[in-house]
A and B are shown apart, each in its own frame.
Chain A
Amino acid sequence: MPFDVYLNVAVSGVLTGLVYGLMALGLSVIFGVVRVVNFAHGEMMSIAMYLAVVLFAGLHLDPLIMLLPISAVLFVFGYILQVRLINPFITRPEYTQFLLLVALAIIIVNTLLIIFGPDARTIQTSYAYDSFQLGSLILDAPKLYAGAAAIVFAAALFVFFRFSLIGKAIRACADNYTGALVVGLDVKHLYALTFALGAACVGAAGVMMTLIVDVTPTIGPTYTLLAFVIVITGGLGSMPGALIGGVLIGLTEALAGLLFTPSAKSMFAFGILVLVLLFRPQGILGKRAT
């Protein structure tokens, strides 16, 4: 098989993996700070996807233009969710958090089913069928835009956590909960902001995903599972790890489909997960538990 085929498939896998990575980044941020595992992560992404579909169908608003507004909506949704619903569960046993978020996931899926019905919906932008040719490399335009937007969004998040005062305060909460309380940080507010940022991340990923796949109400659980595979592979709580994990899973799926049988490509992503759990349980960039 010619080399350019591998190159094209690998680049396509990396671009899709970047969007996967952004989605998983939200999960990793939430767990890294709030220590709550968001079992409704993919379902929250499907809310963003349907917002993009509705805005495109009703007002012809391009998903890329709606990236920030929809992320903002998810930010507010995440903030309210944390303050009103999840905060009371922070100090309760983990299984109650699990049940709460699984219940939320089921409610989201069924609400979407009631509102939109079970059929797949698609966004047909003017560039839906465009591609760019660079020598023998053919780049799928929607995937390229989605991948680029994922990098910009993730970079903005890194900068926020690294350099902004609120970002530093959130990291302080993550490092030492009691210490953060002692120095007078409003931990509940910072937790809510963190959950909101995670929701905004998954919202942005959802909007970009509409450029690549069709949307159905039941798409959420698939992506929740995928997000878990990615963050466990990359390292739970590690932001760069989530992005690297996303790219690795996207690339693995693409190359496995090419080299082996396409219908079994997901199997290889789970194979990577098993290997990581066996030989590096903390994930590629995760810290070993002490």
Chain B
Amino acid sequence: MTHTGMLPNRRHMLGGAAATAVTLAAPAIVRAQGGALKVGVLLPRSGFEAGIGQDCQRGVDVAPAILKSLGLPDLAVMDGDTESSVDVARARAEKMIGEGAQLLVGAFDSGQSTAIAQVAEQKGIPFVINIAAAPDITEQGYKFVFRNFPTAAMILGDAFANQKEVFAIAGAAPKTVVFMHVNDTFGAAMSKGIGAVMPKFNMPYSILEEIAYDPAARDLSVEVAKAKATGAEALLVVSRLNDAMLLTRELVKQRWSPQAILSVGPGWYEDQYIKTLGKLADGPLSFVPWYDPNKKLSQVLEAALAKAYPGVNLNTNQVFTFEALLVAADAYKRAGSSDPKALADAIRTTNITDNVSIGPGIQFNAKGQNDKVKNGAIQNRGGKLLTLAPKEAANAKPEWPMKSYQDRG
């Protein structure tokens, strides 16, 4: 006796499996259409870039209320730590996508962002870069990678233009500089960019020597001694946070107060730099992607940050991390779906004019790059960050030359 008729055959099995899949998938589809978009935010929350990663996180923390006030949909943020490592960034991106992230944001660092971009493109999940300047990331023909941050060449072009503007207002300029830079993906890209871009700007100074140093260095005494020995009038620097503090300590200990510190990167305007070094933090000029203090949304973001983190200055980290989430929420609203392709298409047609950063707003070109975002020139003074250039965003005049470290009491 056989029971063939009673047993499920292959067709029944396939039908049952399909029905089960549809039943299981249905809630997910409903969630995707009506619920919050799952955004994986990958930042260096630990390791040598932890200070900056945590500063970026502040931009994430204040975003929900502001996005809601703008009538944008909710985002379900998933926190991820790249541990300041390229390999970990890649692994965490894969894990986050596996856990259901529908869009990725991050990762502050060019090397880590490059790794995440490869994963995002491979998996077909949109990735909005908050901060990363290596030009190659948006030169790969990627369809799911977008960057609302200038490339190294754009930063440098604006930096040199802003420097000339500051020199003109101050009525003084250094004739010589020594160029110190961190020896990582970002630092190397900036070094290469300086060589290519600087000749076009007819700068008043020449670079006497270029000194590259280890990004994880714990002592920069030799590097500063070498820089001081060049006799340069000013220091041109591309750094991170920890090394900016180490450099400042060595400048003080080796009794070298250059006419100006011209930073073309992070570190010198960070909150932790200012809090740790106090009076010694005053003076450096940073030529970096910045916010326009006169824009309405900048004032909203500044107020939200002041409320959530009293005493913390609004800076690049929070601004561009917030704007990355703004792009995500705006695209999700317009796409009306969490389908990765629909989201990517919506991001590609972004046109946000009510934004925070300097420039006409957020739009992406065919390569996924916002090529209209602009730099600002800022100076640390009395624990605050004052905007010196461009003229339309300025709220102070430069203090020149920088006050000697030995005269600060």
Contact = CB atoms under 8 A, between A and B. Distances in A.
Contacts of A254: 221-222
Contacts of B226: 5, 9, 257-258, 262
Contact of A213 (B83, B212, B219, B222): B219
Interface stretch (B43-51, B72-80, B116-124): B43-51
B242 A214 contact: yes
Give the interface size class of chain A: 35 or more
Contact of A129 (B48, B212, B253): B253
Interface string A244-261: 000000000110011001
Contact of B222 (A1, A2, A214, A257): A257
B48 A8 contact: no
Interface string B235-247: 0000000100000
A140 interface: yes
A142 to B, nearest CB: 8
A140 B253 contact: yes
Given A1-B229, A129-B252, A12 B280 contact: no
B218 A9 contact: no
B17 interface: no
B60 to A, nearest CB: 18
A176 interface: no
A57 interface: no
Q: Which of B46, B221, B229 lies at the interface centre, i.e. has the most chain A CB atoms within 10 A of its CB?
A: B221
B218 A213 contact: yes
B354 interface: no
B225 A263 contact: no
Contacts of A263: 183, 212-214, 217
Nearest to B81: A118
Nearest to A118: B46
A82 interface: no
A130 B47 CA distance: 28
A87 B50 CA distance: 40
A120 B225 contact: no
B249 interface: yes
A262 B214 contact: yes
A28 interface: no
Nearest to A255: B222
B212 A119 contact: no
Contacts of A13: 222
Given A9-B225, A140-B221, A262-B226, A131 B254 contact: yes
Interface string A108-136: 00000000011110101000111101000
B23 to A, nearest CB: 42
Nearest to A215: B218
Contacts of A8: 225, 254
B229 A257 contact: no
A12 B212 contact: no
Given A2-B229, A129-B252, A214-B242, A12 B46 contact: no
B255 interface: yes
Interface in A202-216: 212-214
Nearest to A214: B218
A55 interface: no
Contact of B249 (A117, A120, A129): A129
A210 to B, nearest CB: 11
Contacts of B214: 262-263, 266
B223 interface: yes
Interface in B189-211: 211
A118 B222 contact: no
A119 B44 CA distance: 11
A266 B221 CA distance: 14
Contacts of A213: 218-219
A8 B229 CA distance: 11
Given A118-B83, A120-B242, A129-B253, A265 B51 contact: no
A138 interface: yes
Contact of B51 (A5, A16, A119, A261): A119
Interface in B19-44: none
Contacts of B219: 16, 212-213
Contacts of A122: 276
B407 to A, nearest CB: 14
Contacts of B222: 9, 12-13, 253-254, 257-258, 262, 265
A5 B214 CA distance: 21
Contacts of B225: 5, 8-9, 12, 258
Contact of A131 (B223, B242, B255): B255
Interface in A198-250: 212-214, 219
A118 B47 contact: yes
Given A12-B225, A129-B280, A140-B221, A262 B211 contact: yes
A-B complex: 8 closest residue pairs judged by Cβ atoms: A118-B46, A257-B222, A213-B218, A5-B229, A263-B183, A129-B252, A262-B223, A131-B253
9 contacts: A2-B229, A9-B225, A119-B51, A120-B242, A128-B249, A129-B253, A133-B255, A141-B253, A263-B213
Interface of B: 46-48, 50-51, 83, 183, 211-214, 217-223, 225-226, 228-229, 242, 249, 252-255, 276, 280
Given A8-B254, A131-B255, A212-B218, 5 more contacts: A12-B225, A138-B253, A140-B254, A214-B242, A258-B225
